[in-house]
Amino acid sequence: KQEVTQIPAALSVPEGENLVLNCSFTDSAIYNLQWFRQDPGKGLTSLLLIQSSQREQTSGRLNASLDKSSGRSTLYIAASQPGDSATYLCAVSERNKLVFGAGTILRVKS
């Protein structure tokens, strides 16, 4: 059974700092890996999707990497801003479904 773990569970950083969120998964037979952002009481916003054949994806200040063989992904956020404060969720795609990690709660202090 696929298990997805995210470390750290919570992170508090000053504005402007670069940071890395980690995601690991136990079964490497995945279709893709997605990073989402969730604001309190809201739905999910897709940030980046990495297909299983890809190594990384970039969007603005965000960069996500995927090492399928070792079962790891990282989300790098450059020059963090208070507006980046949210819960970040990692999910791996198996046939017909996404399996989610518990998330990392990020707080960026101004």
Partner 1 sequence: ETGVTQTPRHLVMGMTNKKSLKCEQHLGHNAMYWYKQSAKKPLELMFVYSLEERVENNSVPSRFSPECPNSSHLFLHLHTLQPEDSALYLCASSQKVSPTLAGGPSYEQYFGPGTRLTVT
Binding residues for partner 1, rule: CB under 8 A, are 4, 29-32, 34, 36, 41-46, 49, 51-53, 89, 91, 93-103
Amino acid at 103: G
Nearer to partner 1, 4 or 64 (CB): 4
Q: CB 68 → partner 1: shortest distance, Å?
A: 9
Residue 89's CB: how many other CB atoms inside 10 A?
24
Q: CB 82 → partner 1: shortest distance, Å?
A: 22
CA distance 87 to 75: 13
Q: CB 93 → partner 1: shortest distance, Å?
A: 5
Nearer to partner 1, 32 or 74 (CB): 32
Residue labelled with tokens 């790098």: 76
Do the Cβ atoms of 110 and 16 come closer than 8 Å?
Answer: no
Nearer to partner 1, 54 or 63 (CB): 54
Do the Cβ atoms of 85 and 107 come closer than 8 Å?
Answer: yes
CA distance 89 to 100: 7
Nearer to partner 1, 71 or 103 (CB): 103
Q: CB 32 → partner 1: shortest distance, Å?
A: 4
